[in-house]
Amino acid sequence: MFQLFLKDTNKALNIDKSRRKKLKELSNKIGVKFKNLKLLNQALTHTSCVEKKSKIESYERLEFLGDAILNTCVAIILYELCPDYKEGSLSSLRASIIDGKTLSEVAFNLRLLDYINLGKGETLADSRAKEKVSADLVEAIIGAIYLEFGFEKALNFVKNLLDSEIKKRIKIGPKDFKTQLQKLTVARFKEYPKYEVIKEEGPEHNKIFEVSVSVNGNQYFATAVGRTKKDAEQRAAEKVLQMIRGSDNTKEE
């Protein structure tokens, strides 16, 4: 495991009494007693709250770190729980567990947006922005836990945080909606689904992709977003599968 050196954030910014109370409240809620509340505060600080030449840092670096830690933690958990699964199935399962929608639901249950630091006049009115920021907060907190407490604490936190989701996904099993859609469309329409990236947003390490898929011209068409192209394509394929099966009760053998 890699080790990082954490700079002295105690000198980076002062936290007022009311904010400190909120941070302690969240710390108790997630079951991780941060001694360095300034690190937790950073994990909850949106880029809109950071000004040039300010000592305040946003959650972006912690989110970048937390994303890597989360991927590793879920990989370890699935490796232990699914000894008969091959690499492809493990990768598919992991992607379904740590996608933006799942993480945003976790954040919603913890009401993380109630604790976020936003800049003056900044709002998260758009549902897509809320989903992305919510997922980012979860990853940033995981990064903060790793920095203060180490990998084992981060692993245990992820296990507790995603326990029900992991069990549910394992019970369902890995789903490859793109393959299912391709088999169905080739058999029915004698053609392959057509995928297209409509939009890419965000920094290189944290992009959001919007992808469309069309079948039989545009008879069946859907769009979806994801944190990777593959994730977005899987979501879009699932939507079109539901459309086709719902329209004529076609069932894949």
Catalytic residues: 67, 139
Of the candidates 190, 242, 202, 204, the one whose C-alpha atom is nearest the C-alpha of residue 221 is 242
Per the rule left: phi > 0, alpha: psi between -120 and 50, beta: everything else, 111 is left
Answer yes or no: are the C-beta atoms of 69 and 143 closer than 8 Å: yes
Question: How remote is the C-alpha of 167 from its chain's centroid?
Answer: 17
Half-sphere exposure of 143 (CA within 13 A, CB side): 25
Locate 90 and state its tokens: 């493990």
Beta strands in 67-193 (DSSP E): none
- Token pair 């040039």 is found at 52
C-beta of residue 250 within 8 angstroms of C-beta of residue 188: yes
